[in-house]
Structure 1
């Protein structure tokens, strides 16, 4: 039990604190305008940091495992969206449309980097391939995820007009590419100040959450959600993750005949969704008060995937012939 509990992300507690703060003290009026501008700056800062951290060399170096990386990308940007749309269709009438849009949104996000690599390591998988696969997913996700959201969520108010493309370019792509260009000169400084910058980017995400949920509280959009909706949403997200894990295992083991080490990479990199990338992308594409509801599925899925993948990683490591790390 202790080994499982260690993967409950304490950061989720801080997110809940921001939601509670927004419920009690929502920002509004001139303060809301200032907070929104600050959140926009924070989004640009986040993607600049992502650009300095993601190594294009690491993504390219793993192309010798092109079948594995292609499978991860297809699971992330094809299988997940199909399952998200199917879930949204099947659950129509069970949940408010905004929450269903949030379920589809989370399915369009790239994979995580840090936790995918960590769980692959615990499971004794191919860590080098996991690093390449997760990096490539995040690199492409900066471009693909907003386009997929605009294509598949048009009915939720996302229209990729010139203004939206301009905002994507200025707040996501330009900072990310600038970080990539400056990476050779900044990577050492980034590593030396890794802890402080970690606080900064997590603090930026907390600010985005506070601003988003403040908008929802001021406009009273949470009146649309009942307690039973949250229960149904948790069940749907858990089933969604379970289906993806079963399919990635079937694809890796039966269809592709991957080694167990590469199967583990497909399982963890192909089934995870990035909260760090998803929150700023959603904040840019859904600027209205409905944003807090749209973000909720992604935030819940983040914690569910950590717990379930922690158990799965230990299961892989404890399999016959595979010793647990000390």
Structure 2
């Protein structure tokens, strides 16, 4: 039997090979989990056990977020108010406005059941890891990206459920009332604050064991995906979405991403931000967090509605990784050329 160290080494080599051809190995795991949930959804007592596991996983996930984040890191780079206000504006104003505009699309292109998911997608906070990684790759302001992504993630714990309560259509069968908003506070914010309180004692240990914390992060998300799509399969999700609707949905996600990338770049220039900050604004302002979105969906939506509600998010997440990888590599080459005086420094 192969040793665990050899298996880990083989997994790392496979992950690097996939990255070289532009495929995220974790996305393949997510898709495999969707396939497993479609073929073997949990039922009866098993479904209850999975639901309990999801609640524990969500609380643990946000506890780890709080425990790993140093309060100093949360304040680092916060002085650039124009940049952070621009990113928050793109995340929680521009995106929701585009989500509202999507309501005008015909039913044949975007049925009401998928529109709920698209609108939910536009209300989510930005990512943390990928925003910082792409900013670094492109030669942007990494310190500001850390701060901006952190602020967005924290704000989303409160703003996303409030915006959902305000904007989600009441006649859709999906409602977000005060009780569900309170659930968000109990399941997400309280564990996060507890993690912040304990950061001094356990934060350094978590930093030394990143592989363990990453396994908890990703394992929690996979469990949430399995539970969400399993509930959707029991409710007939794949009988309610056609291949044509999935293609229209992917096209709409690309349009959303392209519009926000363009608007955030133009606004950053108008505000007089330098090139590094413009790169940060575009990457942090155009992302939507799968890691935060899935736990929020399990709290805000009834179990049977979670699967179809997060379908647009999963499509958007994959598209944003592919598009932003191309942009980051291109802008990174221009940054390197500009530092040698061989090319203009515009992204």
Q: Shorter-chain TM-score: which interval?
A: over 0.9
Separation (CA, whole Å) in 2 of partners of 1:36 and 1:221: 18
Q: Residue in 2 aligned with 1:303?
A: 318
Counterpart check, 1:321 vs 2:338: yes
Task: Give the alignment of 1:103-122 within 5 angstroms.
Answer: 103-122=118-137
Select 2:67's aligned residue among 29, 49, 52.
Answer: 52
Task: Name the structure, 1 or 2, with higher relative contact order (CA <8 Å, separation 6+).
Answer: 1
Task: Give the alignment of 1:75-114 within 5 angstroms.
Answer: 75-114=90-129
Q: Residues 150, 5 of structure 1: CA spacing in aligned structure 2 closer, same or farther, 3 A cutoff? A: farther
Separation (CA, whole Å) in 1 of partners of 2:239 and 2:176: 29
Select 1:130's aligned residue among 145, 158, 167.
Answer: 145
Separation (CA, whole Å) in 2 of partners of 1:280 and 1:73: 21
- Secondary structure of the equivalent of 1:28? coil
Contact preservation (8 Å) 1:4, 1:307: no
Separation (CA, whole Å) in 1 of partners of 2:287 and 2:239: 30
Select 2:244's aligned residue among 228, 232, 253.
Answer: 228
- Secondary structure of the equivalent of 2:109? coil
Contact preservation (8 Å) 1:21, 1:210: yes
Instruction: Could you tell me which runs of 5 or more consecutive residues in structure 2 were left unpaired when the two chains were aligned.
Output: 1-16, 343-347
**CA apart distance, 1:212:** 1.1
What TM-score do the two structures reach when normalised by structure 2?
0.88
Instruction: Could you tell me which runs of 5 or more consecutive residues in structure 1 were left unpaired when the two chains were aligned.
Output: none
The count of residues paired between Structure 1 and Structure 2 equals 322
Counterpart check, 1:199 vs 2:212: no
Q: Residue in 2 aligned with 1:285?
A: 300
Q: Residues 157, 5 of structure 1: CA spacing in aligned structure 2 closer, same or farther, 3 A cutoff? A: farther
Separation (CA, whole Å) in 1 of partners of 2:263 and 2:181: 34
**CA apart distance, 1:143:** 1.4
Q: Residue in 1 aligned with 2:224?
A: 208
**CA apart distance, 1:278:** 0.4
Contact preservation (8 Å) 1:51, 1:183: yes
- Secondary structure of the equivalent of 1:289? helix
| Segment drifting more, 261-270 vs 83-92 | 83-92
Contact preservation (8 Å) 1:8, 1:306: no
**CA apart distance, 1:49:** 1.1
For residues 91-122 of structure 1, give each alpha carbon's deviation from its aligned partner in whole angstroms, at most 9, with x where no partner exists.
54422212111111111111111111111111
Separation (CA, whole Å) in 2 of partners of 1:164 and 1:20: 29
What TM-score do the two structures reach when normalised by structure 1?
0.93
Separation (CA, whole Å) in 2 of partners of 1:68 and 1:6: 33
- Secondary structure of the equivalent of 2:51? helix
Counterpart check, 1:241 vs 2:261: no
Q: Residues 6, 185 of structure 1: CA spacing in aligned structure 2 closer, same or farther, 3 A cutoff? A: farther
Counterpart check, 1:188 vs 2:201: no
Contact preservation (8 Å) 2:176, 2:301: no
Separation (CA, whole Å) in 1 of partners of 2:19 and 2:39: 32
**CA apart distance, 1:209:** 0.8
**CA apart distance, 1:251:** 0.5
- Secondary structure of the equivalent of 1:64? coil
Q: Residue in 1 aligned with 2:13?
A: none
RMSD of aligned alpha carbons? 1.9
Select 2:195's aligned residue among 167, 179, 183.
Answer: 179
